């Protein structure tokens, strides 16, 4: 994808990786629209970055998504990049007597249906552009899961497969399909402790690497995956799956 002169919509763009990407693309001369559920975070980013447009959007509300899509078509008919970044992650203990699947359903609702709905809402606009891109945030855990986050990892595996099919179906259109697969990054995805965890990759460092990969086209098969995560990506092919799974999920 080109790195400037785009009109970019980022869902989940008010915090974490989404916000860092919004600011990085804004710095490169793009028109950036961020969409999110929390009014306070929308106000914060638009106050700090007057050129960024904020839109309130709850992806679990189909009517709200329809209104937002209609608003974007009217105000930003040149929208050519969609970054579907919204996602949640929760620990689940399926051995517990209290586990009832509610957390799993919430994760699927946001991480899977949220992405499908937002792509469906904006794909007609993207199809009209001379050059366009769709980026969805998956995870390096799509390829080899952390067993204490079962539905989160499975939701990202779904996205990896779905994006592969979307890329194939749209192969004759000028729409690039990109899969962003972050490692463990200092964000609040799993809570405040993750943002301060020294084991996690600093957010600014990660987004800087992503932007460099985009600038130089270093994303084979449309996958934006750090070099250090390639072992997990190809664990089954290389015969390392069982040993890597055991290392990530000690008994």
Consecutive 10-residue averages of pLDDT for the chain (251 residues): 96 94 97 94 94 91 90 96 95 96 96 96 97 97 96 98 98 98 93 93 97 96 96 96 96 88
In total, how many domains does the chain have? 1
CATH of the domain at 120: 3.40.50.720
How far is residue 225's CA from residue 86's CA, in Å, rounded to a whole number?
A: 18
Question: Residue for token digits 């799509």?
Answer: 142
Domain that holds residue 138: 7-248
Instruction: Say which residues have a Cβ less than 8 Å from residue 102's Cβ, sequence separation at least 6.
Output: none
Q: Give pLDDT, residue 60.
A: 81
In a domain, 2, yes or no: no
Q: How far apart are CA 229 and CA 47, in angstroms?
A: 36
Catalytic member of 152, 184, 206, 241? 152
Confirm whether 141 is domain-assigned. Answer: yes
For 14-27, b/e burial (b = at least 16 CB within 10 A) is: bbbbbbbbbbbbbe
- Residue 25 falls inside a structural domain: yes
The pLDDT tens digits for 8-52 are 999 999 999 999 999 999 999 999 999 998 999 999 999 999 999
According to the model, what pLDDT value does residue 61 have? 84
206 included as an active-site residue: no
Give the model confidence (pLDDT) of 105-119 as tens digits. Answer: 999 999 999 999 999
């Amino acid at each position: 994808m080109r790195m400037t002169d785009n009109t970019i919509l980022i869902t989940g763009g008010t915090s974490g990786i989404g916000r860092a990407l919004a600011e990085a693309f804004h710095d490169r001369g793009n028109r950036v629209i961020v969409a999110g559920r929390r009014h306070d975070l929308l106000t914060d980013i638009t106050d700090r970055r007057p050129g960024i447009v904020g839109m309130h959007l709850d992806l679990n509300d189909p009517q709200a998504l329809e209104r937002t899509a209609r608003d974007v078509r009217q105000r930003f008919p040149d929208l050519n990049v969609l970054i579907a970044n919204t996602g949640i992650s929760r620990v689940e203990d399926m051995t517990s007597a209290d586990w009832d699947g509610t957390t799993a359903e919430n994760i699927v609702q946001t991480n899977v249906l949220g992405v499908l709905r937002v792509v469906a809402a904006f794909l007609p606009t993207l199809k009209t552009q001379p050059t366009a891109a769709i980026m969805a945030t998956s995870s390096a855990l799509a390829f080899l899961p952390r067993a204490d986050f079962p539905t989160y990892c499975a939701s990202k595996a779904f996205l990896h497969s779905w994006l592969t099919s979307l890329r194939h179906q749209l192969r004759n259109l000028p729409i690039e399909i990109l899969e962003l697969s972050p490692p463990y990054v200092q964000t609040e995805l799993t809570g405040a402790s993750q943002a301060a965890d020294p084991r996690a990759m600093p957010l600014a460092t990660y987004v800087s690497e992503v932007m460099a990969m985009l600038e130089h086209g270093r994303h084979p098969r449309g996958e934006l995956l750090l070099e250090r995560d390639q072992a997990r990506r190809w664990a089954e092919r290389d015969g390392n799956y069982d040993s890597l799974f055991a290392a990530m999920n000690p008994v």
